[in-house]
Structure 1
């Protein structure tokens, strides 16, 4: 579905991604794990069209997408939930969701998708007229995910969905990611909480200083001593 072929991305003189090669197959949850500054968010921004690779290419469903405008990529079926949520705080929950569907013209389909989002996140329905800035962190994360789903993506990119959330919300968010995936949306997940990410993913890639250093099934990585020591708290679950 998504093929990333040896891309290199720079911020000025800083070589942020070095020959990154990976793929995401339809129906999977694929997670990227790695320390802060390893290049995970840079990779998602490059897939979304916010950054352009200097070298290498990205194809989605057989079509080249690198270098294309971000809105064109959304139209092709890729939506991103950015790190830090980035909701529109002065707008209502409903208005934020409406913005997620701004490229769509199918009014009936949009109506159905409002309902799907509210079924997934009943709390958003209760607060649909409320200003988004007044929501809790967990509710804002739900709204950011709901807004991305309003574009009806084939591939959902999630950047640090559990960041700054209370543990009870973290479990809820991960349960919902599994539900979104089970209903047919492919998911690419960047997450600091490696243990949670590996518990729901099918496959995983480990990124260190802009390179993929390890990949395999989530189960293999979860039981790897190297990964346990580096990312899972020294082998203790």
Structure 2
């Protein structure tokens, strides 16, 4: 990824929840065009890292730069306008709205309203199931379809950087495989991705680089394929 511009830089990030020091001097960077994954056990601080980056929780100290701009104090909704999308853990779709209404809400930040129709077409191409169910209430969709909708809704804002939090959670392996194919496709279309994922095997299989988080500290990082072959990582996270 040489010569690529830096999309995101996190430097010495510290996050506290009350008296708990949840993230301790976390450093990571993502270059344009990469899929970078953050793996680690439950409670390691993966979700906190994403939420701090997208402005959903405050951080005590450190620097987060998105496309060279410091984000301290920028409200979460403004980051959508800057080109950041976040698919939260647990999907957080609007259950009492239709699939189409959820997607429309994803496009609220778009200035080029005339192009939004093309976006629907591209999302329905990626997720044909959503097109079949576009008038259905989102709450009536299966878990896999809700995940597709959450990703589709985030893509409606045409993000340059997409944060994905546990996209495989609670889904059957066959559905997970499909979702990960789509994540790869989104990346090949030019979107940079930061992926937080419990399923380390799946995450490392599609990522370019990875960071491993343990109790709020980044303990190792490197090329995803190197980490896949690292004995310690295999034992700790890859079920070997």
Matched, 1:171 2:177: yes
Distance 1:10 1:223 in 2: 33
Matched, 1:7 2:17: no
- What are the ranges of 5 or more consecutive residues in structure 1 without an aligned counterpart? none
Q: How do 1:124-139 and structure 2 match up within 5 A?
A: 124-139=130-145
- If the length of structure 1 is used for normalisation, what is the TM-score? 0.97
Q: How do 1:152-191 and structure 2 match up within 5 A?
A: 152-191=158-197
Contact map agreement 1:40 1:190 (CA 8 A) in 2? yes
Contact map agreement 1:77 1:154 (CA 8 A) in 2? yes
Number of residue equivalences: 234
Candidates 93, 101, 104, aligned match of 2:107: 101
Distance 1:156 1:108 in 2: 23
Q: How do 1:34-73 and structure 2 match up within 5 A?
A: 34-73=40-79
Alignment-derived partner of residue 215 in structure 1:
221
Q: Displacement, 1:13?
A: 1.0
Alignment-derived partner of residue 209 in structure 2:
203
Distance 2:218 2:115 in 1: 39
Distance 2:91 2:13 in 1: 26
Contact map agreement 1:93 1:127 (CA 8 A) in 2? yes
Alpha-carbon RMSD: 0.7
Q: Bigger CA drift: 52-61 or 156-165?
A: 52-61
Distance 2:109 2:188 in 1: 25
Counterpart secondary structure, 1:8: strand
- If the length of structure 2 is used for normalisation, what is the TM-score? 0.96
Distance 2:210 2:173 in 1: 23
Counterpart secondary structure, 1:42: helix
Q: Displacement, 1:215?
A: 0.1
Residues 133-166 of structure 1 show CA distances to partners (whole Å, capped at 9, x for unaligned) of 1100000000000000001100000000000001
- What are the ranges of 5 or more consecutive residues in structure 2 without an aligned counterpart? 1-6
Contact map agreement 1:53 1:67 (CA 8 A) in 2? no
